[in-house]
Amino acid sequence: MKRTLSLLLCVLLTLSLAGCAPKEETLQIFAMDTVMDMLAVGSEAREALSASAQEINRLEALLSRTRESSEVSAINSGKTVTVSDETAELLQRAVQYAALTGGTFDITVEPLVSAWGIHTESPKVLSADEIAALLPLVGSGHLHMDGRTVTLDEGCSIDLGAIAKGYASDRVAQIFRDYGVEGGWVSLGGNVYAHGTKSDGKPWSVAIRDPQNTAGAAALVGLSNQFAVTSGGYQRYFTAEDGTVYQHIIDPSTGAPAISDLLSVTVICGNGTMADAYSTALYVMGLEGAKAFWQQHSADFDMVLITQDNILYYTPGLQGKLTVDEGGAYDAKLLS
């Protein structure tokens, strides 16, 4: 009896020691107009996080449209400018994504975003004439690039906001690998990168926010070394005087806030920049367009579409990773 008891005590003691896992560090910063959270586990976790924060601040200084000293502001000034290799490459990718998505993602939509004032305190509804006047300024053709030399047509402007956070998550992923981070994640305002696994070897559990009950989860997805980005009208919107609700994503083809039958789009893949661009594009495309686009590029990414009819579509790559509450708000359907 006594032996059993002392054995039990030993087991309990061992259990309490096992609680001392490798060091877990967290960091929260405010950058790129959003709150960013990071977590890293590993012997150099702290260093990895501060390097990541520095990198994000560097990218913001480089790519912000609202900072006068940034390269994007230099381009928007209308003069011919020479930019860094990094900016040039990111611009090329943006143009490439615009071509791939049929212009549903387009960094040159900026004049309309500004005119609608979506990201300001006082958004306003544009008239058809006002839109018609600005719409000709939209299109990748206005951006002329020759290596690192960039010229933008008069009146046009660009905003990398729709891929900057995705690109930042790619950079953080590289930093996590360089510092030998065992496991961790970054959440950059709608952009998530999950690195490695949790200490118990399980993938990180990412909750896809319920667009209609924003404190709840529509689904959980287990991710490891993957990026996930969600775009949805619920994230930012304004209600006009006549009661119409306008959400924040401008459809480059109409010059007006996109009218989508989707509540949110989540793109999951191995590239943060692409996930960021595609999530915006697919939201603008709507359900049928998004399905068709995925069928053409199914090797590149997985996605979760939440529709206004309370259906949650997901792609086969997420089978076994995605959990949707049975009897919850959404019926899960597998795309094929």
Sign of CA dihedral 54, 57, 61, 64: positive
End-to-end CA distance of the chain: 61
Contact 28, 39 (CB under 8 A): no
Q: Which one, 160 or 192, has the nearer CB to other proteins?
A: 192
For the bound state, the minimum distance from the C-beta of residue 20 to other proteins, rounded and expressed in Å, comes to 13
CB atoms within 10 A of CB 129: 8
Cα distances (angstroms) measured from residue 194 to each of 103, 224, 234: 29, 5, 24
Residues 220-259: x/- map of binding to other proteins (CB under 8 A)? x-------xxx-x--x------------------------
What span, in angstroms and rounded, lies between the C-alpha atoms of 261 and 306?
Answer: 9
Q: CA-based Rg of the chain, rounded to a whole angstrom?
A: 22
* Burial of 235 (C-beta count, 10 Å sphere; 0-12/13-18/19+): middle
Question: Which of the residues 140 through 199 are near other proteins (CB under 8 A)?
Answer: 185, 187, 190, 192, 194, 198
Residues 29-68: x/- map of binding to other proteins (CB under 8 A)? ----------x-----------------------------
- Give the position of tokens 């709507």: 286
For the bound state, the minimum distance from the C-beta of residue 325 to other proteins, rounded and expressed in Å, comes to 7
Contact 71, 63 (CB under 8 A): yes
Q: Which one, 2 or 154, has the nearer CB to other proteins?
A: 2
Site size for other proteins (CB under 8 A): 35
Query: Among residues 176, 179, 204, 238, which is the contact residue for other proteins, using CB under 8 A?
Result: 204
Work out whether 300 is an interface residue with other proteins (CB under 8 A): no
What span, in angstroms and rounded, lies between the C-alpha atoms of 287 and 283?
Answer: 8
For the bound state, the minimum distance from the C-beta of residue 28 to other proteins, rounded and expressed in Å, comes to 12
Query: Among residues 216, 239, 254, 261, which is the contact residue for other proteins, using CB under 8 A?
Result: 216
Contact 155, 138 (CB under 8 A): no
Work out whether 312 is an interface residue with other proteins (CB under 8 A): no
For the bound state, the minimum distance from the C-beta of residue 205 to other proteins, rounded and expressed in Å, comes to 5
For the bound state, the minimum distance from the C-beta of residue 119 to other proteins, rounded and expressed in Å, comes to 18
Q: Which two tokens stand for residue 43?
A: 């012997």
For the bound state, the minimum distance from the C-beta of residue 73 to other proteins, rounded and expressed in Å, comes to 29
Only one of the segments 1-9, 57-65, 135-143, 241-249 lies at the binding site for other proteins (rule: CB under 8 A); that segment is 1-9
Work out whether 208 is an interface residue with other proteins (CB under 8 A): yes
Work out whether 299 is an interface residue with other proteins (CB under 8 A): no
Instruction: Write the single-letter amino acid at 23.
Output: K
All residues at 6 or more sequence positions from 312 whose CB lies less than 8 Å from its CB, including other chains: 218, 219, 304, 305, 306, 324, 330, 331, 332, 333
For the bound state, the minimum distance from the C-beta of residue 322 to other proteins, rounded and expressed in Å, comes to 12
Work out whether 9 is an interface residue with other proteins (CB under 8 A): yes
Enumerate helices (H) and strands (E) in the chain, giving the number of each. Answer: 8, 19
Q: Which one, 71 or 227, has the nearer CB to other proteins?
A: 227
Cα distances (angstroms) measured from residue 253 to each of 44, 74, 99, 109: 47, 26, 13, 9
Query: Among residues 214, 244, 295, 310, which is the contact residue for other proteins, using CB under 8 A?
Result: 214
Residues forming the site for other proteins (CB under 8 A): 1, 5, 8-9, 12, 15, 39, 185, 187, 190, 192, 194, 198, 204-209, 211, 214-217, 220, 228-230, 232, 235, 264, 266, 325, 327-328
